Chains A and B, each alone.
Chain A
């Protein structure tokens, strides 16, 4: 069965500095991996996804993630944080077939001016 571990429950960065949100996954098969963002009191929005094409995936708002099979990781990065990036970020895994999405517990990103 698939699972996702987000290694940090809270990350705090200064505006203009790099962002790194860490995610490790466990899957019996080649998974699809996603990052979703949830701003306060809002729904979830897809940032990016990996589906066995290029291992470096570019998403919206300058975010990107790299799929590393040997490390079973899918970390999310951004070169320079903006205040508007402050939100909850979820790493999500999906296996083939009708298995449901499995969400990590989320990482809250704070951006300090």
Chain B
């Protein structure tokens, strides 16, 4: 069974569209994250949720809105997509967000905005 799964794996869309990426973890973890990996492979945290509550919200445009319907799911909705949003988006989870915890990553969603 996949621990952290994301759908879709690939997403190609036009500028201005709205799209969602879904993430689910079956590890029983309380904390989930979204990361963005740019074309140079640089990874940066976007958001983290602990038990459905937003904990970290880095300087991300408000076109990006995370939603956590329950602690096993953290979805990412993006409005009015721009060319610069093209990247790989990774979901991750950890036990409870404590210092030194291992984060478990999903396989990534490759988003291409045309």
Contacts and interface: CB of A to CB of B under 8 A. Distances in A.
Interface stretch (A18-26, A40-48, A63-71, A76-84): A40-48
Given A32-B99, A44-B90, A100-B56, A106 B107 contact: no
Interface in B96-114: 97, 99-100, 102-108
Contacts of B45: 100-101
A38 B92 CA distance: 14
Interface in B62-114: 90, 92, 97, 99-100, 102-108
Contacts of A95: 99
Contact of A94 (B55, B90, B92, B99): B99
Interface string B18-51: 0000000000000001000000111111001000
A98 interface: yes
A15 B103 CA distance: 30
Contacts of B43: 44, 90, 103
Interface in A82-113: 88, 90, 94-98, 100-101, 103, 105-106
| Residues of B in contact with A, size category | 20 to 34
A106 B103 contact: no
B1 interface: no
A94 B101 CA distance: 9
A94 B31 CA distance: 16
B105 A106 contact: no
Nearest to A97: B99
A51 B69 CA distance: 32
Contacts of A94: 99-100
B100 A32 contact: yes
Given A100-B45, A105-B40, A105-B42, A42 B107 contact: yes
5 contacts: A34-B102, A36-B105, A38-B41, A43-B107, A90-B43
Given A42-B107, A51-B99, A103-B42, 5 more contacts: A32-B100, A44-B43, A44-B92, A51-B100, A98-B55
Interface of A: 32, 34, 36, 38, 41-46, 49, 51-52, 88, 90, 94-98, 100-101, 103, 105-106
